[in-house]
Amino acid sequence: MATMVVAKPKLIFVFSGKRKSGKDYVTGLIHERLGSEVCCILRLSAPLKEQYARERGLDFEELLGSGQYKEQYRADMIAWGERRREQDPGFFCRLAQRGATQPIWIVSDARRLSDLQWFWTEYPSQTRCVRVEASELTRQKRGWEFTPGIDDAESECGLDHGVNFDWVIHNEEDAPPLEEQLQALLLLAQEKAGPEAS
Ligand SMILES: Nc1ncnc2c1ncn2[C@@H]1O[C@H](COP(=O)(O)OP(=O)(O)O)[C@@H](O)[C@H]1O
Ligand SMILES: C[C@@](O)(CCOP(=O)(O)OP(=O)(O)O)CC(=O)O
């Protein structure tokens, strides 16, 4: 693969969380607050879904969505992606960062220790890990159903233990408001990005 020249970020928030915990919702709030000039959202699953859709003649946009379409293919996408990660753990991380020029990056969907290790290795001083937490009841209310082979496998459980997260965001009705929980992340991002982020 040709060497991709990537603009160095000043700060990277690497998010993880269970299905329907609110990763996209929370990272969307941060992105909205900081603005597209300063902040971009990187999805590790996007290059995976793009190649998977191409190989199988599927609808890439639908795979990016949050509906049933992607759930039909999730198990096979997981297996397909894991075969590639076995050969090159950073394969999807490198592809996801293509074209990112903003100073603040948000990786919205880390799932495995190899994801975190890639960013810690490539960007040791810039990387901060954030976990989005929600109870199973809350996730069920958002449309999650336990699926054997998915919710008890690495894709969903790979970061359940052994990670000292820099922040844990409790995305629950009875938790403090997200704006309050995200204050420290937003302040750090504004400090790192400089005056244009304020
Ligand atoms: N704090 C919240 N307030 C309102 N809706 C939320 C909140 N968190 C998540 N949601 C909704 O719940 C669903 C799942 O959230 P999402 O961010 O897609 O989860 P994930 O990306 O972790 O699978 C979405 O419809 C989203 O809009
Ligand atoms: C094969 C996947 O990349 C599919 C991920 O799809 P999404 O990122 O859409 O998942 P949620 O938003 O958590 O529901 C998972 C993997 O193990 O790589």
Question: Residue ranges for the binding site for ATP?
Answer: 18-24, 142, 171, 181
Ligand 2 midpoint to CA 45 (Å): 6
Give one DSSP letter per residue of 1-48, joined into a string: -PPPP-PPPSEEEEEEE-TTSSHHHHHHHHHHHH-TTTEEEE-THHHH
Angstrom CA distances, 183 to 10, 72, 87, stand at 18, 37, 39
Pairing mode, strands 39-42 and 127-133: unpaired
Q: What is this structure's pTM? A: 0.96
CA distances from residue 99 to 24, 45, 149, 176 in whole angstroms, order as listed: 20, 16, 34, 35
The residue whose CA is least distant from atom 5 of ligand 2 is 45
Over its length of 198 residues, how does the chain's per-residue pLDDT go in tens digits? Answer: 555 666 799 999 999 999 999 999 999 999 999 999 999 999 999 999 999 999 999 999 999 998 899 999 999 999 999 999 999 999 999 999 999 999 999 999 999 999 999 999 999 999 999 999 999 999 999 999 999 999 999 999 999 999 999 999 999 999 999 999 999 999 999 999 987 666
What are the sequence ranges of the domains in the chain?
11-46+92-192
Q: 11-46+92-192: which CATH number, 3.40.50.300, 3.50.50.60, 1.10.760.10, 1.25.40.10?
A: 3.40.50.300
CA distance 94 to 85: 12
